[in-house]
């Protein structure tokens, strides 16, 4: 009788198991085909339902009935198993099994059936129970889990106050255990704020660009029926501080033990799942191949991807150059990759300059016959951050003519020395040293004429100067051709004018000649020519230092036997080598070793600012070392800016400008094309930018009204504006009021600029432009463009933070680097435009801004700044005079 009851119970259990197996198969089929599981497909009695698993009584059978089974039949010892099996086999010969629920009993219900059923369940499932599987890192649930782990990890670092940012989820997996286990790899970066500051103002805190990002592996367990989520394990690679401070970190075995502990505890909880420990045991997490974060390694992308990056870099270089000729990528010489906050690619590209036009589709087939030799080699660094709006940007670039061995063939030409030509680059020059040049050679005389004209334009003198002779000249090849020359110039009897033919002007020998030390940098393949350094004066002033007894003045030259040796000296670090180059380029001299060290320290700090500006640049601007690179913020503000909003007079508000009703603005407009803008001027070491902004505005208005472009006097404003403080700063609206009061502006020729606060020498009888008031423009940039097009150049205030190290391109820094409310520099808007990227189907609108730091700064003295977002406060203080 005991055997009969046992068979009956076993039959009931197996019959119910078979029903569950069929339902599980059906559900798995639906999962495999992507069918949605709804209550209409599977009722509450389905063993596959998580809720029914927790509430066994609702599944159609009561698990408590198993308690009646005798332990004799379910003893797991080998001896008991053997005994039970023999008993089943022996008694089964005479037994007849009853039907269950009207169905025929299966013939073979012995113990061997169970493994076959279990095998069928396991092998028949499309989804492996208990195995980990990859999931989409961008899934909202994964993002929620990653944020939970990230915040818990930060809270566990009690002794570390440094803030961190979650950059992205790199990889994610899930696994069914006693709940749901998530395994996520998260890229993190250090913040420039503390944890407390980060919590208060997350929007203003950014990642520290000086520190590399790192990867943290998190394991999180979620048990929904308990409303419980727990961080099980934390493992961070390359974490500077985290390595020693990971209270939440556990050994993987400890994490697995914790899961087992939670499984056992879950049996005692209300509505907990009765899950087999064998089924829920977690699979060991596979070992990940983790590259060391931050190391430079070979780029593993395919050639097409790298070529696309190279073309992007070349397109950006085309954007910031001065010509309209496009470059062509010929080959990628090397490609490295570095994991930072994203990926930093280090590419060395062979580039050809062509005569194909920028903005067209530039291919080898289209431009191969328009290549200008020699080739250039460009080393570029491209930051790729796919999660950012601007995914790719150049952080550093340097191009130079490709070094060719003597006699190496380039197409049909040979790059070798021609001993019969004075104008060929000699072997000595190719090695990087200066070599003498014949002062009477035709190309040098042509260059000297260019220099003379440029120096003459900078002069405030009434009469034009003319080249007398080239005294000496030397050349050096350094990313182009650098020419140093000493020239003699003499004043002529001809007054300056735009179309003056100096050949017809005789030198006035009654006046003393000028002598100039000039350095010119040329890049023939880019068709650029720029004066990088100039010093002019009387002969005895120019050479007086040569007659003095030597002093302990520190110059680039006495850093070593010559600058080329000094900047490659192994005892100097990279930044100090750059500083030596900077000193040579800008003829910097320091009075002692102490001052040299002080300026070097400032230079190092400014290099970090340059890096930060480039890192967070949203446009196409390039930033680098300029002549201001050894100045502190206070020194730069004192001598090269000078806008003073604090000097505003508290009287009645300014009159608002009436905006002309222009229905359709052209894509670009520039008053330089209509003879309404004078050449770029230089304010020197005087905070008189506000005066240059005002005179530029009045010069444009006067040219349009009287059809005559006249350069007006900034010195009159510096000396005679009693509402402002001359070289210590001022405000355009104050200047308008003073000009209206005293009668107007004299021409530059009548009241020349000397860059110092002097006694007012205003002569009302020599006034050229009379001012009758001023207007204030709205802060809407579209309306500013309308007013500009109708009336002329506009005086504006701007934040010059991004301008100090600006080289070229469309500048669009983040607001935290260039606040629109911190205006400190007066400049002049002369036009606007839109830069287009045909390859990327993108446009970049900009303002063209005339500055007063000379033509050697920026884009020949001009600054292009992003238009449409009040970048650096460009729309905050726009004003214009009203003239008779």
Using DSSP bridges, classify how beta strands 296-298 and 325-340 pair: parallel, antiparallel or unpaired: antiparallel
Catalytic residue among 689, 720, 727, 818: 689
CA distance 463 to 876: 40
How crowded is residue 118: how many other Cβ atoms within 10 Å of its Cβ?
12
Query: Cβ(779)–Cβ(796) under 8 Å?
Result: no
What SS3 state is found at 9? helix
Q: Report the C-alpha gap between 828 and 850 in whole angstroms.
A: 5
Residue 83's H or E segment, with its range, is helix 78-92
| Active-site choice (367, 378, 851, 872) | 851
Name the CA dihedral angle for 120, 125, 129, 133, rounded to a multiple of 10 degrees.
150
CA 697 to chain centre: 34
Quick one: 211 exposed, middle or buried, by C-beta within 10 A (0-12, 13-18, 19+)? middle
Q: Which residues contact 875 (CB under 8 A, 6 or more apart)?
A: 779, 780, 781, 784, 796, 820
Q: Which of 588, 585, 589, 569 is nearest to 577 (CA)?
A: 569
Decide if 811 contacts 673 (C-beta within 8 A): no
Both structure tokens of 190: 């250090």
Is 825 among the catalytic positions?
Answer: yes
Identify the three-state secondary structure at position 391.
Answer: coil
Task: Give Cα 332 to chain centroid, integer Å.
Answer: 23
Q: Is there a contact between 769 and 800 (Cβ–Cβ < 8 Å)?
A: no
Four-CA torsion 572, 575, 577, 579, nearest 10 degrees: -130
Which of 791, 812, 825, 835 is an active site residue?
825
**Structure tokens given for 268:** 């005692």
Cα–Cα distance measured from residue 243 to residue 788, given in angstroms and rounded to the nearest whole number: 59
Please name every residue paired with 521 in a beta bridge, in sequence order, or none if there are none: 482, 530
First to last CA, the chain: 125
Cα 785 from Cα 326, distance rounded (Å):
30
DSSP conformational letter for 674: G
397-426 per-residue burial string, b: 16 or more CB within 10 A, e: under 16: bebebbebeeeeeeeeeebeeeeeeeeebb
Is 513 an annotated catalytic residue?
A: no
- Calculated CA dihedral for residues 381, 386, 390, 394, nearest 10 degrees: 0
Q: 246: closest CA among 155, 156, 147?
A: 156
Per DSSP, the chain holds a count of helices (H) and strands (E) of: 22, 32
Contacts of 378 (CB under 8 A, 6+ apart): 313, 314, 317, 348, 349, 351, 397, 398, 399
Nearest to 129 by CA among 260, 31, 55: 31
Task: Identify the three-state secondary structure at position 91.
Answer: helix
- Active site includes 236? no
Non-local (6+) Cβ contacts of 273 within 8 A are 50, 53, 54, 178, 225, 266
Q: How many residues does the chain have?
A: 884
**Angle, helices 113-124/2-33, rounded to nearest 10 degrees:** 10
Contacts of 500 (CB under 8 A, 6+ apart): 464, 494
Q: Which residues are catalytic?
A: 689, 825, 851
């Amino acid at each position: 009788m005991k055997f009969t009851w046992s068979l009956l119970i076993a039959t009931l259990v197996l019959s119910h198991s078979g029903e569950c197996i069929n339902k599980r198969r059906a559900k798995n089929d639906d999962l495999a085909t992507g069918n949605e599981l709804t209550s209409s497909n599977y009722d509450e009695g389905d063993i596959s339902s998580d809720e029914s698993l927790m509430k066994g009584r609702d599944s159609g059978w009561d698990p408590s009935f198993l308690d009646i089974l005798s332990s004799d039949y379910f003893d797991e010892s080998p001896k008991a198993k053997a005994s039970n099996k023999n008993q089943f086999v022996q008694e089964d010969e005479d037994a007849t099994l009853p039907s269950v629920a009207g169905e025929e009993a299966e013939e073979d219900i012995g113990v061997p059936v169970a493994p076959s059923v279990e095998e069928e369940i396991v092998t028949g499932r499309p989804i492996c129970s208990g195995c980990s599987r990859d999931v989409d890192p961008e899934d909202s649930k994964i993002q929620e889990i990653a944020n939970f782990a990230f915040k818990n990890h930060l809270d566990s670092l009690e002794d570390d106050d440094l803030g961190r940012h979650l950059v992205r989820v790199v990889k994610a997996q899930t696994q069914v255990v006693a709940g749901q286990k998530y395994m996520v790899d998260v890229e993190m970066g250090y913040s420039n704020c503390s944890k407390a500051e980060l919590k208060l103002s997350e929007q203003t805190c950014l990642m520290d660009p000086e520190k590399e990002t790192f990867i943290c592996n998190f394991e999180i367990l979620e048990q929904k029926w308990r409303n419980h989520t727990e961080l099980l394990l934390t493992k961070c690679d390359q974490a500077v501080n985290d390595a020693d401070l990971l209270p939440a970190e556990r050994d993987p075995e400890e994490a697995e033990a914790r899961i087992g502990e939670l499984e056992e505890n879950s049996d005692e909880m209300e509505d907990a799942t009765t899950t087999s420990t064998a089924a829920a045991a977690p699979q060991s997490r596979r070992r990940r191949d983790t590259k060391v974060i931050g190391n430079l390694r070979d780029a593993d992308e395919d050639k097409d991807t790298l070529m696309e990056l190279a073309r992007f870099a070349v397109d950006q270089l085309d954007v910031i150059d001065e010509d309209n000729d496009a470059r062509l990528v010929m080959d990628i010489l090397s490609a490295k990759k570095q994991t930072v906050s994203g990926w930093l690619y280090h590419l060395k590209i062979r580039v050809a300059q062509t005569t194909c036009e920028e903005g067209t589709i530039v291919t080898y087939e289209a431009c191969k016959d328009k290549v200008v030799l020699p080739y250039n080699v460009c080393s570029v660094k491209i930051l790729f951050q796919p999660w950012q709006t601007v995914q790719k940007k150049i952080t550093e670039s340097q191009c130079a003519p490709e070094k060719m061995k003597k006699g190496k063939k380039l197409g049909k030409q040979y790059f070798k020395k021609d001993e019969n030509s004075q104008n060929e680059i000699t072997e000595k020059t190719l090695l990087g040293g200066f070599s003498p040049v014949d002062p009477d050679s035709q190309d040098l005389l042509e260059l000297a004429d260019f220099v003379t004209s440029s120096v003459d334009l900078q002069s405030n003198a009434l009469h034009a100067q003319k080249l007398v002779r080239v005294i000496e000249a030397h050349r050096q090849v350094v990313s182009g051709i650098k020419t140093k020359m000493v020239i003699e110039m003499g004043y002529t009897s001809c007054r300056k004018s735009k179309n003056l033919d100096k050949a017809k002007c005789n030198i006035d020998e009654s006046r003393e000649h000028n002598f100039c030390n000039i350095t010119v940098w040329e890049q023939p393949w880019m068709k650029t020519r720029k004066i990088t350094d100039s010093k002019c004066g009387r002969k005895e002033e120019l050479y007086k230092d040569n007659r003095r007894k030597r002093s302990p003045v520190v110059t680039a030259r006495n850093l070593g036997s010559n600058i080329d040796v000094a900047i490659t000296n192994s005892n100097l670090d990279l930044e100090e080598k750059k500083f030596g180059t900077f000193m040579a380029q800008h003829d910097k001299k320091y009075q002692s070793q102490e001052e040299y060290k002080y300026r070097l320290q400032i230079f190092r700090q400014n290099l970090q600012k340059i890096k930060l500006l480039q890192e967070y640049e949203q446009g196409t601007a390039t930033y680098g070392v300029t002549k201001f690179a050894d100045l502190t913020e206070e020194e730069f503000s004192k001598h090269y800016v000078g806008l003073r909003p604090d000097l505003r007079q508290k009287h009645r508000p300014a009159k608002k400008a009436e905006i002309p009703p222009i229905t359709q603005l052209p894509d670009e407009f520039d008053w330089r094309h209509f003879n309404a803008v004078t050449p770029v001027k230089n304010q020197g070491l005087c905070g008189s930018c506000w005066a240059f902004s005002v005179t530029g505005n009045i010069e444009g208005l006067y040219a349009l009204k009287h059809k005559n472009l006249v350069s007006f006097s900034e010195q009159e404003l510096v000396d005679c504006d009693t509402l402002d403080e001359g070289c210590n700063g001022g405000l355009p609206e104050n200047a308008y009021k003073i000009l209206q009061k005293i009668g107007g502006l004299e021409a530059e020729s009548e009241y020349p600029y000397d860059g110092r606060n002097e006694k007012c020498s205003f002569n009302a009888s020599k006034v050229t432009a009379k001012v009758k008031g001023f207007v204030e423009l709205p802060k809407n940039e579209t309306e500013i463009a309308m007013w500009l097009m109708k009336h002329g150049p506009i005086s504006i205030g701007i934040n010059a933070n991004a301008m100090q190290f600006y080289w070229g391109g469309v500048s669009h820094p983040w607001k935290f680097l260039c606040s629109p409310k911190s205006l400190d520099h007066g400049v002049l808007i002369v036009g606007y435009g839109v830069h287009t990227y045909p390859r990327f189907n993108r446009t970049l609108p900009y303002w063209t801004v005339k500055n007063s730091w000379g033509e050697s700064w920026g884009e020949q003295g001009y600054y292009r700044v992003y238009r449409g977002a009040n970048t650096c406060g460009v729309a905050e203080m726009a004003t214009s005079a009203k003239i008779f």
